[in-house]
Amino acid sequence: MAIRKVGTCRIVRELGRGGMGVVFEAVQEGLERRVAVKALDDKLSDTPEVVERFRREGRAYAQLRHQAVVTVHDLIEKDDSLYLVTEFVDGPDLARVLKQGGALPPDCVAVVGARMAEALDYIHFHKLFHRDVKPSNIMVSNDGDLKLVDFGIAKDQTADDLTREGVVVGSPAYMPPEVLYGGESDAKADIWALGVTLYELAAARRPFQGPTTEALIKAVRSGAYPRLRSLAPGVPRRLARAVERCLRKRPGDRWPDAGRLAAELERCSVQALRGLHPRARLVGLLTHRGFLQEEEALTRIDSKSLLASLVIDEAPVVVEQAPRPRRWPWAVLLLLAIGGGALLWWGRLRGAW
């Protein structure tokens, strides 16, 4: 039977399906507010571990108040089913943006990185680990806001872990070596996952790949991957260094915390944007890739910002050239040669005297 209403939320349409359930667009009556309703799959509702994990996702969301984290409105239990009501994001996730037009421009990568690192720093401060940072769990709204979503496998440091010993949760392509070896997923693991995500956004491929899960895990454990600028030469060196520091094999060699990573990526963002507002830049990106009509974009940003953003998107990739050694003008070299010859002649003349 189709779901028509959950609490005060009237279901409008299905948005997508995931491993734990279905997500709907709905309208919260009375407030006339668009919301998202995540329904736990009926087949999983008899599994206590899954039900508790779903409840914990709601509690994890509920304690967070950050602009880059989706806000939770309610957790509803109805007819032996669970529903999570959250803020509605009227835009695509970054996996779709990547699929639609390939690698993101470096300035957009820096903006995404700065906002997500800031969100992770906030989450870690509240003793939570996301454990599933990846492009499909980062959404960008039509207003240019970035939102981290899906706390379904988030870990609360203050609660017992629901994961059985020896069971790895999350996406192997975004997991660091220590987690794949069976270690704990913590703040350094979230930083690694963000590094993989930013690398993928900048190069349109992940740093570690393999035809099978086993081959992928072997690649991650080796720690060897192509340098980011070898695949995306237009990425500024400073941004590439920030991303690659997230991917160091030893956790202690990565960024000390997400806050310092956020500060560095913010500096990269400011340099790359050259005065363009981060949100305006993302609205321009969505417009250029067909997620927004130009008329709709102009209700959010001015025409100058939209044009500047589109010019950046359509510009050819500029490869940074290594500084060339300074060449002395030939005239200076000639004068030095003449001067040296004169000194030699003068020395011989004095010796003859």
Cite the active site residues. 132
How far is C-alpha 75 from the chain's CA centre? 27
213 three-class SS: helix
The alpha-helical segments, DSSP class H, found in the chain are: 48-62, 94-101, 106-125, 177-180, 187-203, 213-222, 228-231, 237-246, 258-273, 278-288, 294-297, 303-314, 330-352
Residue 242's contacts (CB-CB under 8 Å, 6 or more residues apart) are 113, 261, 264, 265, 268
Tokens coding 302 = 């001015």
CA distance 142 to 171: 27
CA distance 212 to 233: 28
CB of 111 within 8 A of CB of 273? yes
Closest by Cα among 285, 310, 334, 307 to 102: 285
CA distance 248 to 252: 9
